[in-house]
């Protein structure tokens, strides 16, 4: 390789912490370029920052815009083999136009028209669906048809066969979260096409999936069932349970008992019923309820998050950005950016509408690698 072809480009610069720029130094640098060598004294800053400096930036996507564009795509773009899904990903403005919401997390709005089927496939990427509004689609995971309704959270660990079908006369939208950007770095991904059509026996519309009938009984594990694949065997966490867990935390707080994160701020994490750990190996998922008029502490953490407003409205501050947010809006909190929330104050005392935030993060990866750090800054 000649020096001019080398991807290594070294510039001799005059700086207090750099060697004097002499003909000998220039020749040394050409030698490094030719041998594909990079000396530490020209590179260290950005590789070992004193604190995390995310390549991503805080950003907000408005649900009304996503929904409008997804509906347009519904009219124009067919769903089928090839693209596989009518999923439209959020691209963080500083990640080079790639469909990455954060350096580790993918987020998309997916849209399925009446009667449509998204064909079966499987991949090593861990995924979930969350429904902010609408119903009528069943996702079929390993032959188990799982209904999707407002507030339901559907984890979908890697390597499970899955397809979706809209059994109604209305289009439906939801969000998908996956660890695609993280797995892209690992270079350990696999993907396989399944059948083009699921069987009639699977194109059913039960109110509860088989997985829920087996696993969705609090504190009760079926004795004869061993679950060995990664992630949760429970394929849907219905909103009714999430809602009750959050409202009970706030009621208990009023009665003088512990349980909330801080006054007026209830939160739950979706867990795997077989071991109590995160629902997916690489993704943690939580729902936070911030009571009317409450402002949370400002927290920063290593690792990134994506939030979707499930209900209510308020103001969120991420680093230097402050946004008013309302139902469906999505925003990103990059690593180590300070984050706080203020829910809208009630107009009357009887106004009970809290701000409900759905959140997912890459925390399980950071905890496994012992890279998790958290700081309350105010």
d(CA 339, CA 322): 10
Please enumerate, as own/partner, the contacts of 252-257 that have beta carbons within 8 Å and a separation of 24 or more. none
Query: How remote is the C-alpha of 40 from its chain's centroid?
Result: 35
Q: Which is nearer to ligand 1HN, 162 or 165 (CB)?
A: 162
Query: Please, are residues 295 and 245 in contact by the beta-carbon 8 Å criterion?
Result: no
Interface positions with ligand 1HN (CB under 6 A): 85, 87, 108, 110, 123, 162, 176, 178, 180
Q: Which is nearer to ligand 1HN, 162 or 284 (CB)?
A: 162
Query: Please, are residues 161 and 142 in contact by the beta-carbon 8 Å criterion?
Result: yes
CB of 18 to ligand 1HN, least distance (A): 44
CB of 146 to ligand 1HN, least distance (A): 12
CB of 24 to ligand 1HN, least distance (A): 52
Q: Which is nearer to ligand 1HN, 110 or 361 (CB)?
A: 110
Q: Which is nearer to ligand 1HN, 130 or 336 (CB)?
A: 130
**DSSP letter, residue 40:** G
Whole-angstrom CA distances from 185 to 125, 181, 309 are 12, 7, 29
Residue with tokens 């829910």: 343
CB of 110 to ligand 1HN, least distance (A): 6
Q: Which helix (H) or strand (E) holds 84?
A: none
The encoded tokens of residue 227 equal 């679950």
CB of 228 to ligand 1HN, least distance (A): 22
CB of 176 to ligand 1HN, least distance (A): 4
Q: Which is nearer to ligand 1HN, 171 or 314 (CB)?
A: 171
Whole-angstrom CA distances from 253 to 242, 256, 321 are 17, 5, 31
């Amino acid at each position: 390789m000649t020096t001019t072809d080398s991807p290594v480009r070294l510039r001799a610069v005059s700086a207090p912490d750099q060697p004097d720029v002499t003909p000998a130094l220039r020749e040394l640098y050409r030698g490094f370029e030719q041998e594909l060598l990079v000396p530490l004294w020209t590179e260290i800053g950005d590789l070992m920052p004193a604190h995390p400096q995310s390549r991503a930036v805080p950003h907000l996507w408005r649900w009304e815009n996503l929904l409008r564009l997804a509906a347009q795509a519904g009219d124009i773009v067919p769903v089928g083999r090839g693209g596989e899904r009518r999923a439209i990903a959020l691209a963080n403005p500083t990640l080079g136009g790639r469909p990455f919401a954060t350096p580790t997390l993918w987020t998309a709005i997916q849209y399925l028209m009446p009667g449509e089927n998204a064909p079966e496939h499987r991949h090593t990427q861990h995924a979930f669906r969350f429904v902010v509004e609408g119903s009528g689609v069943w996702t079929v995971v390993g032959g188990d048809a799982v209904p999707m309704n407002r507030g339901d959270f559907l984890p979908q660990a890697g390597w499970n066969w899955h397809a979706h079908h809209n059994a109604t006369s209305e289009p439906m939208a939801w969000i998908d979260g996956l660890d695609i950007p993280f797995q892209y770095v690992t270079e350990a991904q696999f993907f396989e096409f399944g059948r083009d059509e699921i069987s009639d026996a699977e194109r059913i519309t039960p109110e509860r999936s088989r997985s829920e009938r087996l696993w969705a009984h609090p504190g009760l594990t079926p004795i004869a069932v061993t679950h060995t694949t990664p992630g949760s065997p429970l394929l849907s966490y219905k909103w009714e349970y999430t809602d009750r867990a959050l409202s009970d935390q706030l009621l208990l707080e009023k009665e003088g008992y512990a349980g909330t994160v801080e006054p007026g701020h209830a939160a739950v994490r979706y867990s795997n019923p077989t071991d109590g750990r995160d629902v997916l190996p690489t993704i943690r998922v939580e729902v936070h309820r911030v009571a009317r008029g409450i402002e949370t502490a400002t927290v920063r953490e290593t690792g990134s998050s994506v939030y979707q407003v499930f209900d209510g409205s308020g103001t969120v501050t991420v680093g230097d950005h402050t946004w008013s947010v309302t139902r469906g809006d999505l925003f990103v909190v990059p690593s180590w950016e300070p984050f706080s929330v203020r829910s809208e104050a009630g107009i009357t005392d009887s106004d009970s509408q809290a701000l409900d935030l759905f959140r997912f993060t890459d925390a399980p990866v950071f905890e496994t690698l012992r890279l998790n750090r958290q700081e309350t800054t105010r």
